[in-house]
Amino acid sequence: MKTKYMNPYLAGVLLGLVLLSAFYFSGRGLGASGAVKSIVVTAVETVASDHASNSEYYSKYTGEGKNPLNSWLVYEMLGVIVGGFLSGAFAGRLKLKVEHSPKITSNKRLMLAGIGGILFGFGSQLGRGCTSGSALTGMAVLSLAGFVTMMAIFGTAFALAFFFRKNWI
């Protein structure tokens, strides 16, 4: 079937080369959830700085001379926004819309996206990284955690797919 997207194996090799360049420069691979964490920590620190400095979790990233927004991952994710936008612009895919199966309404799709995001955000903190930072990067460095997290993510999604099929097919 003719597709408007890049050949997936070619895209995989290119993504692997992006990952490799991240290793070559920074010694760490890619990441995504870490950038959102930086924003959350900054927001908490701005709104309730005492709460942030008293918290064992937030205080790891805040404190004297530390700015959580000045991180590799924040700049990397700014790049992702620009790169994704450029690709969408070249391919003629820039469009404000809610993408959903015809069997569900836009509102239901948005609600599910919100719930999914909350779960993913929470899980990424427990799992010390998301699909990019823990699974993809972890596997490339052969980390046990990378393989375990990858199998848990994809295994669970496959196991639950049947129950959520009406939202997709």
Partner 1 sequence: MMGPLIPQEVIGEGWNFFIAFAVGIGFGFVLEQAGFSSSRKLAGVFYGYDAVVLKVFFTAAVTGMLGLLYFSLFGWIDLSMVWVNPTYLWSAIIGGIIMGAGFIIGGFCPGTSVCAAAIGKIDAMVFVVGIAVGIFGFGELYPMIKSLYLAEYLGQVKLSTIFGISQGVLAFFVIIAALLMFWIAEIAEKKFPREEY
Options 67, 87, 103, 166; binder of partner 1; rule CB under 8 A: 87
Residue 104 interacting with partner 1 (CB under 8 A): no
Whether 149 contacts 138, CB under 8 Å = yes
Site for partner 1, residues 128 to 157, rule: CB under 8 A: 128-157
Residues 6+ apart with CB under 8 A from 80: 32
Options 17, 48, 63, 67; binder of partner 1; rule CB under 8 A: 17
Site for partner 1, residues 108 to 127, rule: CB under 8 A: 109-110, 112-127
Going by C-alpha positions, the residue among 4, 166, 15 that lies closest to residue 101 is: 166
Closest distance between partner 1 and the C-beta of residue 64, in Å? 18
Options 49, 82, 103, 105; binder of partner 1; rule CB under 8 A: 82
Phi, psi (rounded to 5 degrees) for 55: -85, 135
Tokens matching residue 94? 């820039």
Residue 63 interacting with partner 1 (CB under 8 A): no
* Contact pattern from residue 22 through residue 51 relative to partner 1, giving x for each residue in contact according to CB under 8 A and a dash for the rest: xxxxxxxxx-xx-xxx-xxx--x-------
CA distances from 86 to 23, 58, 141 (A): 24, 34, 30
